[in-house]
């Protein structure tokens, strides 16, 4: 099937009937629609919908789980899309070997830039509420018991461990991995909590309005140590892009956030951020050698250039965060 996905109104109407929606299609926008990566925006007499193509290499079981998670939260008045189910109870429809899913349209905009302190606090509070809701209605998690962690996605610490056990990696890659290893062996003030986690609360997945805050894209939903998610979020929110290859830290905003947030000690918040940055660097170093990072469909020179930009950004962010934390006495 072509990348243009030139579906007719008749085909889209047939899709909708599979989802038990029998209103005729009034209009179709065949580009990005709303605040998700979409292929078609659909308007019927009473609804605005988004039809999304799912990549061939996606883990459909994980996406079924993520759709169920989103719908569970939607039913509890969280601001997130609702995924429609077919008459068979599946979110997916197949056409010519491609998988599609249908979701409700959410008009509220996502964050387009790093959040300020107030919105950062609101997002972490939302992550707490997400865990509480899913723990009540979806599955109970004993915070001290790793047996409850989901099997759909490997845990971050296990992925990193596997990279260090690979003796066939080049000397350069093993040296680079070893250079960030001390940050992965952090000892925290408080025992890390196991939580239901969105998995990717970067600012592009967060909806912020004056009255409400919401989340998109639950494809990385997992049950894991909450520090992995928060550390990754803090790196995303409080890094400062000085140029294309250099990141620093928004020191005043990060300091204000740490002063006001009640969830972690300042030391632990910094250590979680250092640990997730080191974890990402291990991914980048190892996947660069394997040739299987995000941009594997592009020509090798272009892909490696993009990977090297990401490596440089995080290699410059790490010492900036270290200097920030040491100057303030958060870590030794």
Higher pLDDT, 159 or 324: 324
Would you say residue 111 lies in a domain? no
Q: Per-residue pLDDT tens for 52-92?
A: 888 665 678 888 888 989 999 999 999 999 999 998 899 99
Report helix, strand and coil shares of the chain as percent, to nearest 5.
Answer: 45, 15, 40
Question: In the chain, how many H helices and how many E strands?
Answer: 9, 11
Would you say residue 179 lies in a domain? yes
* Structure token digits, residue 145: 């018991």
Q: How far is CA 189 from the centre of its chain?
A: 26
The CATH number covering residue 212 comes to 3.90.1200
Which run of H or E residues covers position 290? Answer: helix 266-290
Residues paired with 213 in a beta bridge = 208
* Structure token digits, residue 230: 């928060």
Q: What is the pLDDT of residue 215?
A: 92
Q: Per-residue pLDDT tens for 14-43?
A: 889 999 999 988 888 865 544 455 578 899
Please tell me whether residues 100 and 134 are part of one structural domain.
no
Would you say residue 4 lies in a domain? no
pLDDT band at 140 (very low <50, low <70, confident <90, very high): low
Domain end among 49, 72, 104: 104
Rounded to two decimals, what is the model's pTM? 0.87
Strands 98-104, 194-197: pairing kind:
unpaired
Please tell me whether residues 65 and 162 are part of one structural domain.
no
CA distances from 30 to 13, 77, 144, 197 (A): 15, 29, 47, 32
| Residue 328 reports pLDDT greater than 90 | yes
Residues paired with 207 in a beta bridge = 110, 214
Q: Is 5 left (phi over 0), alpha (psi -120 to 50) or beta?
A: left
Would you say residue 112 lies in a domain? no
Please tell me whether residues 86 and 132 are part of one structural domain.
no
DSSP calls for 15-43: HHHHTT--SPP-EEE-S-BTTB--SEEEE
Please tell me whether residues 136 and 226 are part of one structural domain.
yes
The CATH number covering residue 98 comes to 3.30.200.20
Would you say residue 81 lies in a domain? yes
- Give the relative orientation of helices 226-238 and 251-260 as an angle to the nearest 10 degrees: 140
Query: The domain containing residue 59 runs over which residues?
Result: 9-104
- Give just the sign of the alpha carbon dihedral 160, 170, 181, 236: negative
Q: Per-residue pLDDT tens for 148-183?
A: 444 434 467 777 888 899 999 999 999 999 999 999
* Structure token digits, residue 276: 């997730």
Number of domains composing the chain: 2
As a whole number of angstroms, the longest Cα–Cα distance in the chain is 65
Strands 206-208, 213-215: pairing kind:
antiparallel
- In whole angstroms, give the CA distance from residue 220 to residue 143: 19
């Amino acid at each position: 099937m072509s990348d243009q996905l030139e579906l007719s109104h008749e085909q889209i109407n047939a899709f909708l009937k599979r989802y038990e929606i029998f209103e005729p299609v009034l209009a179709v926008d065949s580009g990005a629609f709303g605040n998700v990566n979409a292929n078609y925006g659909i308007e019927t007499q009473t609804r605005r919908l988004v039809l999304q193509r799912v990549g061939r290499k996606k883990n459909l079981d994980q996406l079924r789980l993520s759709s169920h998670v989103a719908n569970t939260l939607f039913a509890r008045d969280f601001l997130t899309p609702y995924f429609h189910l077919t008459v068979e109870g599946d979110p997916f429809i197949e056409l010519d070997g491609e998988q599609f899913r249908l979701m409700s349209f959410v008009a509220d905009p996502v964050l387009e830039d790093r959040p300020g302190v107030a919105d950062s606090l609101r997002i972490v509070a939302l992550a707490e509420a997400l865990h509480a809701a899913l723990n009540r209605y979806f599955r109970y998690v004993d915070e001290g018991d790793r047996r409850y962690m989901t099997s759909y996605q490997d845990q971050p610490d296990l992925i990193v461990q596997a990279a260090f056990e690979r003796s066939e990696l080049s000397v350069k890659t093993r040296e680079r991995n070893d250079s960030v290893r001390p940050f992965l062996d952090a000892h925290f003030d408080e025992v890390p909590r196991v939580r239901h986690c969105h998995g990717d609360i970067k600012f592009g997945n967060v909806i912020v309005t004056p009255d409400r805050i919401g989340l998109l894209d639950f494809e990385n939903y997992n049950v894991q140590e909450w520090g992995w998610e928060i550390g990754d979020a803090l790196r995303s929110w409080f890094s400062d892009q000085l140029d294309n290859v250099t990141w620093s830290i928004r020191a005043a905003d990060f300091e204000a956030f740490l002063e006001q947030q009640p969830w972690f000690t300042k030391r632990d918040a910094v250590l979680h951020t250092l640990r997730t940055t080191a974890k990402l660097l291990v991914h980048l170093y190892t996947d660069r050698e394997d040739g299987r990072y995000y941009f594997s469909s592009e020509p090798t020179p272009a892909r490696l250039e993009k990977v090297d930009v990401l490596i440089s950004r995080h290699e410059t962010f790490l010492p900036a965060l270290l200097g920030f934390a040491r100057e303030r006495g958060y870590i030794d």
